[in-house]
Amino acid sequence: MRSLHTFCLLVCLVVSPLAQAQGQPTPEQPAKADRPKNSRFAPDYVVLQHAGLIGLLSAGLGYDFGRHDRTNVELLYGFTPGYDIKHTNHTFTTKIYYQSHPKPLFRDYKISWIKVGAGISMTIGEQFETFFPKKYPNGYYLWPTATRLLPFIGSAIGREFKGNKRPLYGEFYGELGTSDVMIIDKYRNEGIAVTDILNLAVGLRLKL
């Protein structure tokens, strides 16, 4: 009987650590991440955009974070050539937005139906004021004319590239947006149509 008790004790001592080891993740099997992330300050993607009230053409870097990397922040520089004015306008923009999880569309392509957010821009140019201009009455503008708030909504279509080569993912997007000044103008002047205060932008994102 004593031999049986000794055998049972040895079995429990051996099986218990094995069961605990199977229930815990090992260093060789880390939890699956949403996707490989770059180093701490390196951008997650690059972006190129046409129009959208931030320049005829703009380009910049982007970072994604949050659950499944659905929240995005972009830093962009855009320019508008001086066709009707003497000098080129330079616009610096920060955008933050949420983009829905992509759904299968056809073949390897996926679509994100919802993309909603806003940007804040600062434009350097002859006709833009970094301080409140004296020629406008108090309260005419909420802040200097060089600064704009730019809400927008859109959608995106993309596909993942196979293999480990970069870029990892390419995406074409469209955005319908406006600005704080246009919204105020519409509020003050009922004769302005809604379509007159909307602007269409198209762009390309390449995840690194």
- The pTM score is 0.75
Is residue 4's pLDDT more than 60? no
14 vs 157, more confident: 157
User: Model confidence at 32, in pLDDT bands (50, 70, 90)?
Assistant: very low
CA terminus-to-terminus distance, the chain: 67
Specify the pLDDT at position 67.
78
Q: Do the domain assignments include residue 8? A: no
Q: Do the domain assignments include residue 117? A: yes
Q: Do the domain assignments include residue 12? A: no
Kind of pairing between the strands at 109-124 and 147-160:
antiparallel
User: Model confidence at 164, in pLDDT bands (50, 70, 90)?
Assistant: confident
With CA atoms as reference, report the closest residue to 34 among 122, 189, 160.
Answer: 160
Number of C-beta neighbours around residue 199 at 10 A:
16
Structural domain of residue 140, as residue ranges?
43-207
Q: Do the domain assignments include residue 15? A: no
- CATH code (residue 132): 2.40.160
Under a CB-based contact definition with an 8 Å cutoff, are residues 124 and 145 in contact?
Answer: no
Q: Do the domain assignments include residue 158? A: yes
Least confident among 34-38, 124-128, 145-149, 174-178: 34-38
Q: Do the domain assignments include residue 33? A: no
Tell me the per-residue pLDDT of 181-203, one tens digit each, with 9 for 90 and over: 899 889 989 899 999 999 999 99
**Residue 108: is it exposed, middle or buried by C-beta count within 10 angstroms (0-12/13-18/19+)?**
exposed
Number of C-beta neighbours around residue 159 at 10 A:
15
Specify the pLDDT at position 35.
54
Q: Do the domain assignments include residue 187? A: yes
Specify the pLDDT at position 68.
78
Q: Do the domain assignments include residue 160? A: yes
Specify the pLDDT at position 65.
87
Tell me the per-residue pLDDT of 91-141, one tens digit each, with 9 for 90 and over: 999 999 999 999 999 989 999 999 999 999 999 877 776 666 666 666 666
> For the chain, how many structural domains are there in total?
1
